[in-house]
Structure 1
Amino acid sequence: RAVLLPHCSRKYMDSRCKATFDPEIPSYFCNHCSEDCLINKATRLAQSKGYDVYILPGGSCIPKLLKRHHYEGIVGVACGEEIKLGGDVLRRLGLVAQAVPLIKNGCANTVFSLETLEKIL
């Protein structure tokens, strides 16, 4: 099982964010640099429940990710456009998926409900 989080929900979108980026996947990986960062909280929550966590720049990264890693189910957090894109990809691959929509959009400083994510997990 995997959780796909949007990189635009990181507290910092600059060098203050210590997440590392792996272009081979492509994903950021949270290094827990800021306790009040939504991505940090979501990453800790998902990992505590046994999920792999990927922080993606966009839904177009999903096919490359799934060529390297195989999952039976995916939970994705994203804006409406990315939910549609990611959902289309996952349906074509026959994967079960659930989505948590952003409650504040904008490609930076976006927000989602941690409580909704926790209920789904």
Structure 2
Amino acid sequence: MPYRFSFDLSRVPHAFFNALVEMAYQKNMHKKIAWTVRRLTEKLNIQEIGGLNMADVSTLIEDLVDIHLHNIMERERFQKSKRRALFLPHCARKYMDGRCQASFDPDVPSYYCHSCSPDCLVNQAVALGRDCGYDIYILPGGTCLPMILERNPYDGVVGVACSQEIKQAEAYLKSRSLPAQAVYLIKNGCANTKFNLRCLEEILRLNVS
């Protein structure tokens, strides 16, 4: 289910995201997530930066920690994969109108970036993916993922999406025994969404020669 709130963590200090990774490594974190979140948000002043109340912050952070935990658990299998695909969200494009020159192929289904804006986050992610040897898809929605994977024999997947879609995709990927790594959006919405490009690059280069 989509969040009933909007968030923008793009200005949150990097220490916050480092803390999420540390939380994911700790055992039984789900039992004390609310207490830890309160301490973390107070220490880093996240409530002012993120513009969220404590209940919303707790919900969001619990989901993000779950995603980090899944990445940790799947990392070894993912590192052994050879043929990999990168799935990007079309909502992170700089423009969502005719100024974006990306073409859409409904038979795939995917957008294809034509590098029209150097500062476009999707354009930058596509360049990274190509450099690391990934097949790249820019999806209009999470429902396109099964259609593509059922036609292509990938053995490793990297997905960039909102945390809700990542969690939904986990069950499908598990049913196909496909190891995956995920990068969550740090700003949600239907347009101008954002993700951490540095985090994506670190994942894309896992065991890439």
The answer to whether TM tops 0.5 is: yes
Q: Whole-Å Cα distance in 2 between the matches of residues 112 and 93 of structure 1?
A: 26
> Which of 122, 125, 129 matches 1:46?
129
Identity across matched positions, percent: 60
Q: Give the drift of 1:67.
A: 2.1
Question: Secondary structure of 1:59's partner?
Answer: coil
Q: Which of structures 1 and 2 has the larger relative contact order (alpha carbons within 8 angstroms, sep 6+)?
A: 1
Partner of 2:139: 56
Tell me the number of residue pairs that the alignment of Structure 1 and Structure 2 aligns: 121
Structure 1 letter corresponding to 2:127: R
Correspondence list, 1:24-43, <5 A: 24-43=107-126
Q: Which residue of 2 aligns with 1:68?
A: 151
Whose Rg is larger? 2
User: Which of 67, 87, 92 is the aligned partner of 2:170?
Assistant: 87
Following TM superposition, the consecutive aligned residue runs of length 4 or more in structure 1 with deviations greater than 2 angstroms are none
- Give CA-to-partner distance per residue, 1:76-103, whole Å, 9 cap, x none: 0000111012222211111000100000
Output one character per residue of 1:10-42: Cα deviation in whole Å (capped at 9) or x when no partner: 000111111111111111011101000000000
Structure 2 residue identity aligned to 1:68: R
Q: How far, CA to CA, are the matches of 2:175 and 2:112 in structure 1? A: 26
**Alignment RMSD:** 0.8
> Separation in 2 of the partners of 1:85 and 1:15?
31
Is the partner of 1:102 in helix, strand or coil? strand
Pairing of 1:78-117 with structure 2 (within 5 A): 78-117=161-200
Give the residue type in structure 2 aligned to 1:61: C
Aligned equivalent of 1:15, options 80, 84, 98? 98
Whichever structure has more strand as a proportion of its residues is 1
Conserved? CA contact 1:73–1:96, under 8 Å: yes
Q: Distance in 1 between matches of 2:167 and 2:143?
A: 11
Unaligned runs of 5+ in 2: 1-83, 205-209
